[in-house]
Chain A
Amino acid sequence: MRTILLTSALALATAGAATADEIRVLNWQGYGTDLDWAIADFTAATGHTVVHEYFTSEQEMLTKLRTNPGAYDVVLINSAYTAQAQAEGLIAPIDPAKIANFADLDPGLTANADLNPAGALHGVPWTWGLTALAVNTTDFPAPPTSIAVLWDPAWKGRVSVRDDGLEAVQLAALATGQNINDIKDMDAVKAKLVELLPQITTFWGSENDWNQFMAAGDFAVATYWSGSAARSIGKGLPIAFVVPDEGAIGWLDGLSIPATSTHPDAAHAFIDWMVDPDFYVKWDAEGAPATSNSKAAAALPETSFNRSILGDPAVVARVQFMRPVSDENREAYLKLWQDLKAAQ
């Protein structure tokens, strides 16, 4: 794989006069693309250097794209936002021919409708994962199997969910047996959330608070992201990740190239580097979300979190992947969430 990449990079370097570009990547901090060793290897192999800028919410990511034309070459976009970014003219189509590893990517993901707005690929599927539950194993010798554990009076005051209206509504949709992308019975969702709030000790907002609150024993059971759970387990927190019988919320992150990128070739090369199995296997050892590359997934050790839990077809069958959400629904969910929180 490396050799193919090296030759393609060499071909690129000889073909274009511009040999070494500085590319700018817009992503969450600490989310794979900014790993020191990965960037060092990439620069050694291609000559391109990489500078990062970070966002702290998807809305801010879009704002940064809108107000900084030409500033970025690669941007991480959750598939629920890819179509919006494309509709606003913020991102350009991807040329799969420039991505040597493209053939190894899961065809189900590369064909994902949300990554292909207007009939063209606008985001290379990179990672995916779940928003499900994590429990403190000192409180739960045997992990729970149902999402109802969040509503269990035994854990009142030691439950947490993320402070996010959309996620809260989708969680309640799962608990009431509904499709998270097409919620028919909002009254049931609301009633479920009304019951949930008194259970809550605090809302979490980031991996940072989550780890600290869990380490201090504030949480017995809380929603969590799969990639983060792998990382927290790796750092020694006594937790287990649970995908409840009712299902979990799935998300897919893609790497896109802004329409105003000034180094699209180097950007393609960087995306190719990021979906390479060599990179992924090393990243997985530090705690990573699941990969889009089938070869990379197959190369993981048997004991790897991503292989043992997310590699299980029975688990994947229960996942409901998040689709784009209209502004109206997003605002309505936020309003409901704010109303409930304000009443506390």
Chain B
Amino acid sequence: MAGSLERADRRRAALMLSPAYLWLTAAVFLPLSAMAFFSLLTDVPFGGRDWAFTLQNYRDFFETGTYALLLWKSLKLGLIVTALCVLIGFPFALVLAKAIKGRAREALFLLVILPFWSNSLVRIFSWAIVLRGNGVLDAAVNAILPWEVRVNLMFSQSAIVIGLVHSYLPYVILTAYLALQAIDDSLIEAARSLGAPRRTILLRILLPLSAPGLIAGAVLIFVPVVGSFMEPRLLGGRVGTYYGTAIEDQFVAVFNWPLGAALSFILLAVVLVILALATPALRKAPT
């Protein structure tokens, strides 16, 4: 009896998992396997080109300091952007989940994501109008302050961080909200009636219970930011060269797919190792 139930369970699990994973296999994993194969070649195996197997593309990463330097820069950028998103997003999610009631909450929930139903390139050019000297931010600051200041954040690391935090903030707001909204208010009430100060409620109840949401949000931010190149290029100007730029150039400026693919898989490996190391630590930390 128990055995047949388990089998039925397994069949159901397979039935629910396979459509998504078969889809991913056909459209992402197999194509990426082809790319992984290219990364082990001297040249792409079409267009009548000569090719042979080699590890040189991976060796290139270690032989010249540039790629490692850029990856390090990108990882730092990923950490800064993720940390800022969590710091800014968690309080927002907390207020939304616990201090806003009724229809307003649904409306705000939807309004957080709405700006991202637009084109990222158009948004980046709009940020340029805000951030440059004589721009919108400059005008706004000078309208408020009685003395004059010049605000020109364009073409700097600050501009890159602002643009990226903006693009990825909704992820952590919504995932943190999903976790916080699930916490029963009576739990918080009980703690409060027992005399727990706000700090304790935050550290012992809200943070630990919302950890799955925060981690999911942080991962959805950190992973793509490390490979980003559009915001850095357009907002960062002279200092806007990152690891994603180096990968993109192998496909756009030169026809060196093997090296571009190798650099991508190194990025993937590094990101996965960081996630594997960080996730258990993050899960444990708040409790």
**Residues on A with beta carbons closer than 8 Å to the beta carbon of B241:** 338, 341-342, 344
Q: What number of A-B contacts does a CB cutoff of 8 Å give?
A: 82
Residue B11 lies at the interface, judged by CB distance under 8 Å to chain A: no
- With A59-B252, A334-B254 as known contacts, state yes or no: A339 contacts B66, CB within 8 Å: yes
A331 to B60 alpha-carbon distance, docked (Å): 13
8 contacts between A and B (CB under 8 A): A56-B252, A62-B255, A88-B48, A197-B238, A216-B132, A218-B154, A327-B256, A334-B253
Residue A234 lies at the interface, judged by CB distance under 8 Å to chain B: no
- With A212-B128, A335-B64, A342-B66 as known contacts, state yes or no: A59 contacts B254, CB within 8 Å: yes
Give residues 257-305 of A contacting B (CB, 8 Å).
Answer: none
Whole-angstrom distance between the Cβ of A273 and the nearest chain B Cβ: 31
A165 to B133 alpha-carbon distance, docked (Å): 29
A212 to B249 alpha-carbon distance, docked (Å): 24
Whole-angstrom distance between the Cβ of B235 and the nearest chain A Cβ: 9
Residue A207 lies at the interface, judged by CB distance under 8 Å to chain B: no
- With A197-B238, A203-B237 as known contacts, state yes or no: A331 contacts B64, CB within 8 Å: no
Whole-angstrom distance between the Cβ of B246 and the nearest chain A Cβ: 6
Whole-angstrom distance between the Cβ of B57 and the nearest chain A Cβ: 12
Chain B 30-50, CB within 8 Å of chain A: the 1/0 string?
A: 000000000000000011100
Residue B125 lies at the interface, judged by CB distance under 8 Å to chain A: yes
Residue of A nearest to B246 (CB): A338
Q: Is the CB of B240 within 8 A of A57?
A: no
Residue A164 lies at the interface, judged by CB distance under 8 Å to chain B: yes
Interface residue tally on A, bucketed by range: 20 to 34
Residue A89 lies at the interface, judged by CB distance under 8 Å to chain B: yes
Give residues 318-344 of A contacting B (CB, 8 Å).
Answer: 327, 330-331, 334-335, 338-339, 341-342, 344
Of listed B69, B125, B234, B254, residue having the most chain A CB within 10 A: B254
Q: Is the CB of B253 within 8 A of A209?
A: no
Chain A 204-245, CB within 8 Å of chain B: the 1/0 string?
A: 010001001000111000000000000000000000000000
Q: Is the CB of B233 within 8 A of A88?
A: no
**Residues on B with beta carbons closer than 8 Å to the beta carbon of A56:** 252
Q: Is the CB of B128 within 8 A of A88?
A: no
Interface residue tally on B, bucketed by range: 20 to 34
**One of B69, B132, B254 near A342 (C-beta < 8 A):** B69
Residue A43 lies at the interface, judged by CB distance under 8 Å to chain B: no
Residue A202 lies at the interface, judged by CB distance under 8 Å to chain B: yes
**Residues on A with beta carbons closer than 8 Å to the beta carbon of B132:** 216, 218
A287 to B10 alpha-carbon distance, docked (Å): 67
**Residues on A with beta carbons closer than 8 Å to the beta carbon of B48:** 87-89
A165 to B246 alpha-carbon distance, docked (Å): 12
Q: Is the CB of A202 within 8 A of B240?
A: yes
CB-CB nearest 3 A-B residue pairs? A202-B237, A341-B241, A57-B252
Whole-angstrom distance between the Cβ of A117 and the nearest chain B Cβ: 14
Residue B239 lies at the interface, judged by CB distance under 8 Å to chain A: yes
Chain B 253-276, CB within 8 Å of chain A: the 1/0 string?
A: 111100000000000000000000
**Residues on B with beta carbons closer than 8 Å to the beta carbon of A339:** 64, 66
Residue A66 lies at the interface, judged by CB distance under 8 Å to chain B: yes
Q: Is the CB of B255 within 8 A of A59?
A: yes
**Residues on B with beta carbons closer than 8 Å to the beta carbon of A334:** 249, 253-254
Give residues 4-25 of B contacting A (CB, 8 Å).
Answer: none
Q: Is the CB of A57 within 8 A of B233?
A: no
A200 to B245 alpha-carbon distance, docked (Å): 18
Residue of A nearest to B235 (CB): A202
Residue A201 lies at the interface, judged by CB distance under 8 Å to chain B: yes
Residue A166 lies at the interface, judged by CB distance under 8 Å to chain B: yes
Q: Is the CB of B238 within 8 A of A330?
A: no
Residue A21 lies at the interface, judged by CB distance under 8 Å to chain B: no
Q: Is the CB of A212 within 8 A of B254?
A: no
A201 to B48 alpha-carbon distance, docked (Å): 42
- With A60-B252, A342-B69 as known contacts, state yes or no: A209 contacts B64, CB within 8 Å: no
Chain A 146-180, CB within 8 Å of chain B: the 1/0 string?
A: 00000000000000000111100000000000000
Residue B251 lies at the interface, judged by CB distance under 8 Å to chain A: yes
Whole-angstrom distance between the Cβ of B10 and the nearest chain A Cβ: 41
Residue of A nearest to B73 (CB): A342
Whole-angstrom distance between the Cβ of B122 and the nearest chain A Cβ: 11
Residue B168 lies at the interface, judged by CB distance under 8 Å to chain A: no
Whole-angstrom distance between the Cβ of A65 and the nearest chain B Cβ: 10
Residue B205 lies at the interface, judged by CB distance under 8 Å to chain A: no
**Residues on B with beta carbons closer than 8 Å to the beta carbon of A341:** 238, 241, 245
Residue B142 lies at the interface, judged by CB distance under 8 Å to chain A: no
Given contacts A201-B238, A341-B238, 11 further A-B contacts (CB under 8 A): A59-B253, A59-B254, A60-B252, A201-B155, A205-B234, A212-B125, A216-B134, A327-B255, A338-B249, A339-B64, A342-B73
Residue of B nearest to A159 (CB): B238
